[in-house]
Structure formats: C-alpha cells, structure tokens
Structure 1
Amino acid sequence: MGETILEVKNLKINFKTYAGLVQAVRGVDFSLEKGKTLAIVGESGSGKSVTSNAIMKLIPQPPAIYAEGEILFEGKDLVKATEKEMTKIRGNDIAMIFQDPMTALNPTMRVGKQIMEVILKHKKAATKEEAKKRAIELLDEVGIPFPEQRFKQYPHEFSGGMRQRVVIAIALAAEPKILIADEPTTALDVTIQAQILELMKQIQRTSDTSIIFITHDLGVVANVADTVAVMYAGQIVEYGTANEIFYNPKHPYTWGLLGSMPDLDNDADELLRTIPGSPPDLIHPPVGDAFAARNEFALQIDYEQQPPMFQVSETHFAKTWLLHPDAPHVPVPEAVRKRIEGYLEKNDETSIELGKGGE
C-alpha cells in the first residue's frame, strides 16, 4: 500500500427539494493513494459526480447538506474547512476537469490568458513573462501543436478534443496534487477519447499526480484505473483493483455494467445488453438492497435488509448478499464473461494483464 493522500469516510450528502429530502450519497468510503488513479463508475444518478464535487465543496449549501462523514485531504477534514480555506485548496491542491470544455472555458478570453490566470493566482511569485512561458509549455505538454500560436487563440478556434486539452492544461497549471476528471471524454468521439485517456496516463506517469476519474463507462476504466469503485444509488457496491473488478466481479450491478460495454465487432443481430429497470427513488430508498428490484439473482433477504460490505480479498470488497456463506453460488453470467474477455483481448493498450487476477 502506498501513501494515502485522500480518504473519504462514511460520507452522506442530502439535498432539500420540494418533493422531500434526496439521500444522494449514502455512506461512501474510499481512499486515494499518491500517484494512483481511482475510477468511480456508475449510471447517471448514482452519486458519483455529487461525491467528486463534494470533495472540492462545489455543491451549494443549501440545498445540499453534508449530513455525516469526513473528507480527509492530507489529514485535514475538508467538510469542516471554511470557504477561505477551500479557495486556497481548489486549483492549487485539488483541480477539476469538467465534462463539457465549452462551459469550462471563457469564450471571450484567449486560451493562453486563461492558463496564465491560474498560474498568477496560485503561484504568487511568478511574473507575467514566467506565466506566459509556463502556459505555452503546458499547451505543448497536453499535445496541442504550435503552442505559441495557439496561445493567442480563442476557445471557438479549437476542436472539441483540443478544447478538452486546454481544460486539462488549466487544471495542471498550479501543479495540483489531485486531479478530478468528471466524465472528461463523454462528449468526444472514440478516437479523440483514446488520445485524452492516453494523455491522462501520461500525466500520472510524469507528474505523480493522483487522479479521481468519474465515468459511466467501464471500458474506459480498463485503460486508466488502478482501483475501481462501483457506485449505485448513492453507495459504493463494489471496490477493488482494476484486475479484480474485470476478472473477478462479485456484484450483480458490476456484472450488468460489464455486460453493457459496447462491442463494435458484434454481429448486427446481437442487441446491446442493458440493465433492466431504473435506479430507485432516493427520497424513499428501498429498505433492503437498492439493486434488488433490477437484480435477477436477488434473494429474499435483499428485499428486507441492506447487505454489509463483504471482503473478497485484501483489496476487494462487495456489498451483496450473494457473498454470504449461506447464499447459493451464482457465477458471473456467461454472456457477461464473454463480453469482458472479448473486450480485453481486443484492447491492446489495457493496463490489465490478460490471464491474471481472476478465478
């Protein structure tokens, strides 16, 4: 185990709405090691973006309520941090890459000036000349050609993929210790997506930055993550290394996500697998396992009692009654197993070594 830079303990976040109190995050625990990438994966509404925004305290209070828990950054609880303290941490220690680069960039400012602004704000000793030089270096580092010319251009003069690179350059400008990437490739085509993912891996290798990668796509996770947290209905339902999640998944929801990975080489007649049903209403969360209504392998106890987090290995945990000693043995569905194997065999760039980490 390496050095832990961020630890989230029993985090609970509610939202006041006209309809009632939404329990958006319901007791989340995870840790992030220095220089490693943690991927938080789940469908829309699972609570992954609320969790990542909560780390930087970007959620307005109200309507949000930090009901319980701690967010420990280098030992300091960010839940109790003042806005003044958070202003020093945001950008400087923890930076964020947002999903849509056009909303993250100021359309009226040249991109070079936007990068310079961050450097001058967080690196007080830097002169304008030094900030300009560093901004050009950053544009080069994130793979933007002709950085001196591009420095003077406006966001509308860049393609979607190049705009996302600019956003990454801005996030890196203050040399943060943690980078939170909230669905950074969702709006991009698959070719550009692969380039951005490769850039993220390169950043981690060269700068020792710790990364939290938010995504709904487990296929993306195979490329970038060291550790994976699978979220459903405001809770982490499975947690483990990327090897463990891909080769030895234990939660039926994880099986559903893995089985839903698109395969471009499939026969045209084969339908894309989906998870039936929809997530529960978090104003009135289910009494038992939140996934029970969508789980074809649900047991009677799933409707009556929430499962605890069972330990599979030293690094692998899953919140499912199927891991109870008295539960029937349910293997990973064959269709899901084939989809995982097919995906990994075709994905030469994966960080996962085939044939390792599974049963």
Structure 2
Amino acid sequence: MESILTVKDLAISFNTYAGEVKAIRGVNFELYKGETLAIVGESGSGKSVTTKSIMRLLPKSNSEMKPESQILFDGKDLTKQTDKQMEKIRGKDISMIFQDPMTSLNPTMKIGKQIAEPLLKHQNLSKAQAKARALELLKLVGIPNPEVRINQYPHQFSGGQRQRIVIAVALACNPKVLIADEPTTALDVTIQAQILDLMKDLQKKIDTSIIFITHDLGVVASVADRVAVMYGGRIVEVGTVDEIFYNPKHPYTWGLISSMPSLETDVDELFVIPGSPPDLLNPPKGDAFAARNRFAMAIDFEEEPPMFKVSETHYAATWLLHPDAPYVEPPEAVKKNQEKFNNAQSKGGVY
C-alpha cells in the first residue's frame, strides 16, 4: 500500500511548573492512502497530542518537539516547515475535525461564510463560487434546506447538524488527510451512527485518508481498517482491525477489550484495568504498563520491550511475545467481547 503520511520517532514534551512532562515518547506509524487508521487508548495516552503535532497546533510557549522527530507528508518533513508554510497545508491538504463543534465554529459568523473561508484562502475561488461550493457541501453532509440554512448561525442547528457542518468545513478543499479527534463523543448513539456512516461515505467520494481518534472500541470496529493502541505516550500494538480485535497480543489491549460494556453486560461482570496511567513527569523504567499488568515478568520492570512482529501487518510491544516467555491465554472477557464486536461491525458501530 502507498504511504501518504509517515511519523518517525515522534517525541514531545511539555514544560510545566512541576517539571518536564514526556507526553510522547518515540511514536512511529504509517497512514496509507485511502485507509482509516484508528488511534485508541485511555485519556492521557497521547492520542490528541500526536495528531495535533501533525497539524503543528501545539502551543509553542510550553511544548517541545525533540529534534529526532519526523512527520513526512507529500515529500516534506512537517516538523521543519515554517508557520507560513503550515498555513498553506492546514485546511487544504490536512484537515481536522474536533470533538466539540461549538468550540470549532465561530458563533458570530454565518455557517456559509465559515465553510467558504478555506475555499477562499486555498482554492482562489470568487465569493460567488465559494458560496456555491458551500451549498454543495451542505447538501453533501445532509443538511436540509441548505439554501436557507447557509445564512444561519451555529446556535440555530442541533448538535448533530453542527458536527456535519464542521465536517463540511474540514472537507471543503478535499484534503488528502483528515484527522477526526473523537468527532462523535458528544453525540447520542443514533446521531453517532449517522455521522460515522456519513464519514465512511464521504471518504469513498473524495478518496481521503483518515486518522480517527477514539476511546470507543465499538466505533473502531465499524470504521477502522487498522488500529494503533497507545499507552503512556507510545504505540504498544498496531494491526488490522481484525487482528486487534480477534488476535490481540498486548495485555493493555486485552484490558481495553475486556472493559468494554454492552447492554448485555451484568454490573457484577464489568471489568476495569487496575491502577492508573503512568506519571509522565517520571516515566517508569521498562514497560510503562508493567505496574498494571497481572502478567508482568521481572524483565517488564527493567527493560522496555521492542515491537515484536506477529504478522506482516501486526506488531506488539510486549515481552510475552519473546520466544523464551511463557504462553499466556488472553482473559476470558476478551473472547466474550469478540462476538459483540462482530455485532458492532454489522450495526454501524453501535456496541
């Protein structure tokens, strides 16, 4: 497959009053043309920081990208681009959909102008051409009566409609890469399913590649081609969606899958991963997940595991994959949830 975006040795820290927070610690991944890559993990694992660094949206006042970091896109290293050069890329070649549409849209500006803005900046269209394209985009994302609603303000739309408008803004210039940062978290299940179907349909129409950030594995089962699991500022497992759900190898991935509830889950059966994510002011020695891993071995507390190859598309950073490690069966809850993921895939991500 043809790679459209390559992230190499990405390392980012934040300077705080308490000290240096090592938020991203050597992240590597590829995004292929036309695919959807889901990045999953608990809050604080580094998902949003990773993708905001691609857009170069991290605050300069307290964030630092280490010199070995590379973000390769369209023959350029984005880490070396100036602010003016990035302005030509953002919104045109790489766009982003944020979690809360009300913080993404300007409440004082009509939505037609907000959709037309990237068209005027990047496509050199006239105002009349930009308005016509904005109408097309409103129809494309399913906003009824677009001729009337193009002159309305964000507060005059429902939450699901506002998210559709944000998607229209992001897709205005047919970007090569679309980053979706938990775009359905604030929506109810019915609207969530509609937005996911819309994104899958639009992806086929404009042939874009998507990075989808979420903590909802039911959504991942519906939309993703490949999955990268993040923990403690690193990617600990990556593979196709079937490999991650039906043949997971990292104990953290086992925990995420086991902890997903459904309507059939009994309260007494609800699984939780013990402990808390690591303190990245002082990252632990060895495997960052070792303290929460009931299968941890002595080496987990001493040495960070490399990425072991499971298949051509599946890699996991766990010492359990070392040839000398004892064989450990995935927890029973992982096997139980695999049937539910089958249902999620068939029901558009409703888990």
Q: Same fold (TM over 0.5)?
A: yes
Amino acid at match of 1:91: G
- Mapping for residues 179-190 of structure 1, pairs under 5 Å: 179-190=178-189
1:70 aligns with 2:70: yes
Q: Distance in 2 between matches of 1:144 and 1:266?
A: 36
1:92 aligns with 2:82: no
Partner of 1:241: 240
1:261 aligns with 2:260: yes
Structure 1 position 127, deviation (Å): 1.4
Partner of 1:23: 22
SS at match of 1:43: coil
1:297 aligns with 2:266: no
- Structure 1 stretch displaced more, 256-265 or 209-218: 256-265
Q: Distance in 1 between matches of 2:269 and 2:332?
A: 16
Structure 1 position 346, deviation (Å): 5.3
Structure 1: state its 5+ residue gaps: 352-359
Structure 1 position 3, deviation (Å): 1.3
Partner of 1:109: 109
1:314 aligns with 2:307: no
Is the Cα–Cα contact under 8 Å of residues 307 and 319 in structure 1 kept in the other structure? yes
Q: Distance in 2 between matches of 1:214 and 1:104?
A: 17
Q: Distance in 1 between matches of 2:343 and 2:171?
A: 33
Q: Cα–Cα, structure 1 residues 16 and 219, in superposed 2: closer, same or farther, change >3 Å?
A: same
Q: Distance in 2 between matches of 1:36 and 1:230?
A: 17
Q: Distance in 2 between matches of 1:244 and 1:316?
A: 7
Partner of 2:283: 285
Structure 1 position 349, deviation (Å): 3.8
Q: Distance in 1 between matches of 2:28 and 2:15?
A: 23
Partner of 1:355: none
Q: Distance in 2 between matches of 1:60 and 1:283?
A: 18
Partner of 2:197: 198
Is the Cα–Cα contact under 8 Å of residues 251 and 293 in structure 2 kept in the other structure? yes
TM-score by length of 2: 0.97
Q: Distance in 1 between matches of 2:164 and 2:260?
A: 26
SS at match of 1:40: strand
> What are the superposed Cα offsets for residues 53-111 of structure 1, whole Å, 9 maximum, x if unpaired?
00010002231111131000012100011111101000011000001000000001111
> What are the superposed Cα offsets for residues 164-205 of structure 1, whole Å, 9 maximum, x if unpaired?
000000001111111000010111111111111111111111
Partner of 2:132: 133
Is the Cα–Cα contact under 8 Å of residues 344 and 350 in structure 1 kept in the other structure? no
Structure 2: state its 5+ residue gaps: none
Is the Cα–Cα contact under 8 Å of residues 45 and 232 in structure 2 kept in the other structure? yes
Is the Cα–Cα contact under 8 Å of residues 263 and 343 in structure 1 kept in the other structure? no
Q: Distance in 2 between matches of 1:55 and 1:189?
A: 29
Structure 1 position 144, deviation (Å): 1.1
Q: Distance in 2 between matches of 1:97 and 1:61?
A: 21
Amino acid at match of 1:121: K
Aligned residues: 348
Partner of 2:40: 41
Amino acid at match of 1:157: Q
Partner of 2:272: 274
Q: Distance in 2 between matches of 1:196 and 1:276?
A: 33
Is the Cα–Cα contact under 8 Å of residues 193 and 348 in structure 2 kept in the other structure? no
Structure 1 position 302, deviation (Å): 0.6
Amino acid at match of 2:96: M
1:119 aligns with 2:116: no
1:219 aligns with 2:215: no
Structure 1 position 350, deviation (Å): 5.7
Q: Distance in 1 between matches of 2:192 and 2:202?
A: 15
Structure 1 position 148, deviation (Å): 1.1
Structure 1 position 311, deviation (Å): 0.4
Q: Distance in 2 between matches of 1:119 and 1:95?
A: 13
Is the Cα–Cα contact under 8 Å of residues 259 and 340 in structure 1 kept in the other structure? no
Partner of 1:82: 82
Q: Cα–Cα, structure 1 residues 16 and 180, in superposed 2: closer, same or farther, change >3 Å?
A: same
Q: Distance in 2 between matches of 1:7 and 1:54?
A: 13
Q: Distance in 2 between matches of 1:155 and 1:350?
A: 27
Q: Cα–Cα, structure 1 residues 133 and 40, in superposed 2: closer, same or farther, change >3 Å?
A: same
Q: Identity of counterpart residues, as a percentage?
A: 67
> What are the superposed Cα offsets for residues 304-354 of structure 1, whole Å, 9 maximum, x if unpaired?
111111000001000000001111111111122101222323541469xxx
SS at match of 1:180: strand
Structure 1 position 270, deviation (Å): 3.6
SS at match of 1:32: strand
Q: Distance in 2 between matches of 1:341 and 1:291?
A: 27
TM-score by length of 1: 0.95
Is the Cα–Cα contact under 8 Å of residues 72 and 78 in structure 1 kept in the other structure? yes
